[in-house]
Amino acid sequence: MPSNANGTFSTSAYNETLRDDKGAYRLDADTRWGRMSAYYSMDNYAENNPYPTAQGGANIPGFGALYTGRAQFVVLGDTKTFGATAVNEFHFSYTRDTNFLGQPLGGVGVSLVSQGFDTGPGTLAAISHSLAEEE
């Protein structure tokens, strides 16, 4: 008996791959204006999903999608003390996030035969293929 529900497709023939590169840098300096600090963080990612059903993709092989993006974060700060009881603090932050979700990666040039369709003379696949060529 199959281990999945009726009407669903499951295979391990195509891998879902994820590349996730992250980096950060922090700099602190004591100056006459106080303690100055800067922090920068970046996260690049790329995911190749062979079954992108969340964005309306197919759950069969050959119609994958690519998800890419970058998140960036910058924080600038200055902390200045005035005697033993007073502190002045300033912070500025900026966040930028870009995402490109579900960009089609497959589906072009996939033959009907590779998907299990009969393409012999007189079949519906042969007729629809000839109509597509006429357009």
Residue 6 has pLDDT above 70, yes or no: no
pLDDT in tens, 66-108: 899 999 999 999 999 988 889 999 999 999 999 998 888 766 6
Q: Would you state the pLDDT for residue 129? A: 56
User: Which residues lie closer than 8 Å to 35 by C-beta, 6 or more apart?
Assistant: 28, 29, 77, 78, 79, 80
pLDDT tens figures, 9-42 = 666 777 888 999 999 999 999 999 999 999 999 9
Cβ(46)–Cβ(19) under 8 Å? Answer: yes
Domain boundaries, the chain: 1-103, 105-135
**Total-model pTM:** 0.63
Q: How many angstroms separate the CA atoms of 51 and 11, rounded?
A: 10
d(CA 99, CA 13): 27
